[in-house]
Amino acid sequence: MCGIAGIVGALSSANRDALQRMSNALVHRGPDAEGAWESSPNQRGWGCLLAHRRLSILDLSPTGAQPMVDWDSGDVIVVNGEIYNFRDLRTDLQRSGATFASTGDSEVMLQALVRDGTDALDGLRGMFACGFWQSSERHLLIARDPLGIKPVYVARNPDPDGDWAVMFASEVRSLLASGLLGTPKLDRDAVSSLAWNGFVVGEGTAVEGIELLGAGEA
């Protein structure tokens, strides 16, 4: 199943601790291993922090561990899910000169995004949610499969002077565990939707300020 989490903000001990709490809240999704990574800081000391909780399925070796880094570009990925056509994609990427250290699908997805950027998402057949840090652009891509099988939740800091801007995770509980959202508040519209429909319509959640990334969105 795996669990992913990340923060864009100050590369501070406070945000590192928040990321660790987020990762700890996802241990049930990935009991086999955990990993964390952070980018280099920009001039104001900001960057990206990523965490992954691993459930080993395809590549059981350490080469399949995440966050996974492409050392040529410096790009990094955390992904939850499975890419069904990864063998065909791997062959195509190898023809373009890509080399692989692992045998699983995560590195194939990473190499595809390195080569083609967001256009690579159209060629993926599977179920996935990912965070992809593009080092040269210092840009974080958060994406979800077209059917929305794998979830990813996003929160944006309402305080423009805060020390983080965006965070994401596989579960709402992980975002809450960060401690960065203050006292959680119920979203009235979401609660009304749940009472009326039996589920929350749209991308809102029961917690104010936390949204579910839409199916196929990036």
Task: Give the active site residue among 1, 2, 29, 43.
Answer: 2
Burial 111-137 (b: 16+ CB within 10 A, else e): bbbbbeeeebbeebebbbbbbbbbbee
120 is written with which tokens?
Answer: 């690579």
Among residues 35, 127, 142, 34, the alpha carbon closest in space to that of 80 is found at 127
Q: Is 102 left (phi over 0), alpha (psi -120 to 50) or beta?
A: beta
69 CB-contact burial (10 Å; exposed 0-12 / middle 13-18 / buried 19+): middle
Judge whether 2 counts as a catalytic residue: yes
What's the Cα-to-Cα distance from 163 to each of 143, 156, 158, 166, 218, rounded to whole Å?
Answer: 24, 12, 11, 10, 24
The catalytic residue positions are 2
